[in-house]
Structure 1
Amino acid sequence: MRKSLIALAVMGASTVAFAASNVTLYGVIEEGVVVQKAKHQDTTVSLKSGFDQGSRWGLRGVEELGNGYSVGFVLEEGFDADTGANTASNSAGRVFGRESQLFVQGGFGKLGFGRFGTLASGAGSYQVLTGWALGTGFGLSAWTSFGGSFSRADNAVAYRTPSFGGLTITAMYSNGYTADDAKWSKNNHYYGIGAKYEANAIKSSLIFEAMDNKGTEVAAKTAGSLFNISQWAVVKGYDPANLTDPQKDEYKKWAETSLDDATAAKKRALMINYGLEYNMGAWTPMFAYQWFNQDGGKKTHMFGLSAKVGVAGGDILVGGRYLFGHDEALTGDDKVRAWNLGAAYIYPLSKRTAVKAYAGYADSSKGWKDKEEVAYNGYQLYLGLRHSF
């Protein structure tokens, strides 16, 4: 009820606000049908909001201060078009969950405060990710589907330099990724710095990000604290009195793992993303790489080759990725391998409306071979419509 009243108040005051300053109402509505099947799961057919571009509405405003300086804001809310609720993952329980920032800009660059997407999130005013034609949308082909991502940060400060011959530097810091009301050393901090170059036919970016997760650090309970080697052997079907050395080593590794996979998300995480695009006119080939390292979690390398090709008045987006490394949150074999292929076609019906079609397939092996999630093992088909305003 409270959120509804706030939204009504904002919209009710829009006429006055539009007259008083440069304010823009904007949004995206995307909805379509998804057919998908994950390994060992049933095939499902569902109406899906924001499969590629998340459905959202927002307000942007700028006031000129003179001498090249201005102050502005962005307030952006996500919602599920198929239900009308704000249960979209980035906005659940929030009024402006996609972005909420106040900024000042001028000859020195741009300085913003609030909540916004992190540098490699693919979303928001300060993201600089390049090199992957399918971006962070399109389901299992999203760059973040089985790679690393820090999504959006609360309590954040971001600074972007002016362009120097096509090169800009963006830095971001969050004093508390979800809250900053504790002692500084116990808040969960995000740090990011990214360089983006965009000139002539070349677009490229290099991004380093870190999350210390100090505010969520807990003493992890290991599997070995509940099951000794004899009990474990019985469950595995081994003879407790005649365990081989490989079996003992298997227990030792298993005993040191956390009982809760989520514990891995409470450890320090580091990530590097690099992207390169070269516009050749009719088509744009792209290359992307990610290194992700999390204590007690994933330690992976991911490579992607993709392209954007103009065909019959629309754009074909096609890409393939391969990931390898370790996932220390797993019991048993912590080596992981994963790959996927995806292709999409976007056809504009007008300047603001487009039809989208997509097909993707993912397969994983080693420790992820039986992971029952479509992003790791499964396929997706999508047909939808996007309208922007």
Structure 2
Amino acid sequence: MKKSLIALAVMGASTVAFAASNVTLYGVIEEGVVVQKAKHQDTTVSLKSGFDQGSRWGIRGVEELGNGYSVGFILEQGFNADNGDQAVAGKQFSRESILYVTGGFGRFGFGRTGTLASGAQSNNILTGWALGTGFGLSAWTSFGGGFSRTDNAVFYKTPSFGGLTISAMYSNGYTGDDAKWSKNNHYYGIGAKYEANAIKSSLIFEAMDNKGTEVASKTAGSLFNIGQWAVVEGYDPAKLTDAQKDEYKAWAKTSLDDATAAKKRALMINYGLEYNMGAWTPMFAYQWFNQDGGKKTHMFGLSAKVGVAGGDILVGGRYLFGHDEALTGDDKVRAWNLGAAYIYPLSKRTALKAYAGYADSSKGWKDKEEVAYNGYQLYLGMRHSF
């Protein structure tokens, strides 16, 4: 009797292990100290969660269907390690929530995920900038354009053809699709990525039509919620600073006689190139951004990843020029920044990170009191993944 019970227990345990063998719990916790000062502002010292890599936990799984087909899912929630808050209030899986199918045709799926050039999530194909979309003012989107994660997305990625893949994405409503189609904010993206031997490169075109802003209104705030406003301004909606939130609140109270801010279409192209030379990898990146009634800019970046003393040095410099039609008076803008980071692995899962960056702007942005445009940042932190 005892042997039978033991055998049943072993079989039961084996069944559970087999059923769960393709489901993985994973995550990243990153926290450190940031010292920063924006132009005409006080120096601040604060604990910062996810300064480079956003703190998150997630579950992913895959089921093999046979004949080369499989179904998978990713559920990923962001959080702030310094206070335990959700990264995006009200969203249970704010970073990614997708279901997808793969096979000989490629990969097709839908849900909430990062846009093609967002630098985040499983559909990101951005290349060419060593500091990525993390590291504060050195993030590729800090003063350039950028679309972050989108709800109601459908995406497709082709199989690799000699290292070349094509990705396409459409969102039926960037933050919601409950209204009729013409009243939703739609995202469109198509991009190519080449990765073979020492070369990695990508070319991405993205658009946001912002159709949902075309409504009669008495205030600017009823035209754009804070997430939509952040996209238009080139901020990451998931990483808004207190100063940016205050900027939105002030702007949202602006009186409008009619829908004068309607149809703020945004277009963006990103190109990146990397060449792995062994000890170091030089990189080049370019962005063209065009926003109706807003920024029309060109941005160039040179950066590199260099292996030093068991870790990696990431260094990069960028220059942006163009116009910001939202400004009164001189709408010409110029901006540049320099940043360097060192990542030292203590183990396969744990690393120390240090960063320093400086930004300076001129023309219409010379007095912009934000650290990404005029200021400096210092960071020291630790990242652990599981």
Distance 1:107 1:66 in 2: 12
Inter-partner Cα distance in structure 1 for 2:5 and 2:148: 28
1:238 Cα deviation (Å)? Answer: 36
**How many angstroms does 1:184 deviate by?**
1.1
Asked whether the equivalents of residues 297 and 321 of structure 2 are also in contact (C-alpha less than 8 Å), the reply is yes
| Cα distance change on mapping 1:332 and 1:95 into 2, 3 Å | same
Distance 1:230 1:138 in 2: 21
Please list the CA deviations of residues 93-147 of structure 1 after superposition, one character each: whole Å capped at 9, or x if unmatched: 1000100000000110000110000000000110100000000000000000011
Maintained 8 Å contact 1:28/1:55 = yes
Gap change, CA 1:225 and 1:7, over 3 Å in 2: farther
Deviates more, 1:3-12 or 1:351-360: 3-12
Judging changes above 3 Å, is the alpha-carbon distance between structure 1 residues 231 and 289 closer, same or farther for their aligned structure 2 residues?
closer
Tell me, yes or no, if the aligned pair for 2:113 and 2:122 is still in contact at 8 Å.
yes
Say if 1:236 and 1:264 are closer, same or farther in 2 by CA, change over 3 A.
Answer: closer
Q: Is the 8 A contact 1:338 1:365 kept in 2?
A: yes
Counterpart contact for 1:218–1:266, Cα < 8 Å: no
1:218, distance to aligned residue in structure 2 (A): 3.9
CA RMSD of aligned residues (A): 10.3
Of 186-195 and 227-236, deviating more is 227-236
Verify the 8 A CA contact 1:21 1:62 in the aligned structure 2: no
Displacement of 1:230: 37
Unpaired segments ≥5 residues, structure 1: none
Quick one: distance in 2 between partners of 1:163 and 1:130?
17
Q: Deviations over 1:42-94 (max 9, x none)?
A: 0000000000000000000100000000001000000000001xxxx853210
Instruction: Normalising by structure 2, report the TM-score.
Output: 0.85
Asked whether the equivalents of residues 257 and 331 of structure 1 are also in contact (C-alpha less than 8 Å), the reply is no
- State the shift of 1:30 in Å: 0.2
TM-superposed CA distance for 1:181, in Å, is: 1.2
The reply on whether 1:28 has 2:3 as its aligned counterpart is no
Identity %: 90
Deviation for aligned residue 1:216: 2.0
Aligned 8 A contact 1:257 1:329 in 2: no
Q: Is 1:363–2:380 an aligned residue pair?
A: no
Compared CA separation, residues 111 and 14, structure 1 to 2 (3 A): farther
How far 1:10 sits from its partner (Å)? 25
Distance 1:120 1:263 in 2: 29
1:146-167 deviations in Å (ceiling 9; x for gaps): 1111101100000000000000
1:227 and 1:36 map into 2 onto residues whose CA distance is 29
Question: What is the CA–CA distance in structure 2 between the aligned matches of 1:148 and 1:69, rounded to whole Å?
Answer: 37
Query: CA, structure 1 residues 249+333, in 2 after alignment: closer, same or farther (shift >3 Å)?
Result: farther
- Verify the 8 A CA contact 1:303 1:323 in the aligned structure 2: yes
How many corresponding residue pairs? 385
Kept after mapping to 2: 8 A contact 1:257/1:328: no
Contact 2:351/2:383 (<8 A) preserved: yes
